[in-house]
Amino acid sequence: MFLGQSETVLALSVSALLAVSVGAAEQPKVADKSPQGGTDAAGEVRKVVDTFAECWNRHDMNAFAELFAPDAEFVNVVGLWWKGKDEIKRTHERTHATIFKNSRVTITDVSVRFPVSGIAIARSRWVLEGHVSPEGAPLPPRRGILLTVLTHRSGTWLITDAQNTDVIEGVLSRPQ
């Protein structure tokens, strides 16, 4: 069967509208409602990120650890991979007793998205100041990006996975 020009334009328009509608429905949401309803889930996730920085700046690793799920994992800026909330807490306690003892982290930007219900991905730019070398020498400020994956459990958002990356300006890849 052959369609006339008007029918062809109409068929193509309907097809395009359906494709756009289906594509939009499949896109991850930037903001979402909490599974409990009525609360901005993106705001709740941003609060976890802000609390991460607040705990860091108070050097309160007990409160810091409470942000993580029991089975959480964390990869730090040099590639050390910690498994479980207890190990994440222990390693941060050690560094906050030494190189990060007087450090302060500032979150400068947070992006939150929800690939599926109950899962959030937050990327946060940060600046770290006041840290020292293992020998105790002051170090210049560092910048980086913290990636956190959070799950909604028992009415709260917990960090399930985290990876921290130093941003090294002007470097496209590591030296070969």
User: What pLDDT is attached to residue 39?
Assistant: 56
The residue-averaged pLDDT of 95-106 equals 97
| pLDDT for residue 83 is more than 60 | yes
Cα torsion at 42, 45, 49, 52 (round to 10°)? 160
Higher pLDDT, 138 or 25: 138
Strand partners, 142: 128
Q: Show me where the domains of the chain are located.
A: 29-166
Q: Where does 29-166 sit in CATH, by number?
A: 3.10.450.50
8-61 pLDDT, tens digit each: 333 333 333 333 333 433 433 444 444 434 359 999 999 999 999 999 999 999
Q: Do residues 110 and 123 touch, judged by C-beta distance below 8 A?
A: yes
140-156 pLDDT, tens digit each: 999 999 999 999 999 99
- Model-wide pTM > 0.95: no
User: What pLDDT is attached to residue 33?
Assistant: 42
Q: Where are the beta strands (DSSP E) in 15-169?
A: 68-75, 81-83, 104-116, 119-129, 142-153, 156-166
User: What pLDDT is attached to residue 37?
Assistant: 40
**What percent of the chain clears pLDDT 70, i.e. is strictly above it?**
76
User: What pLDDT is attached to residue 3?
Assistant: 44
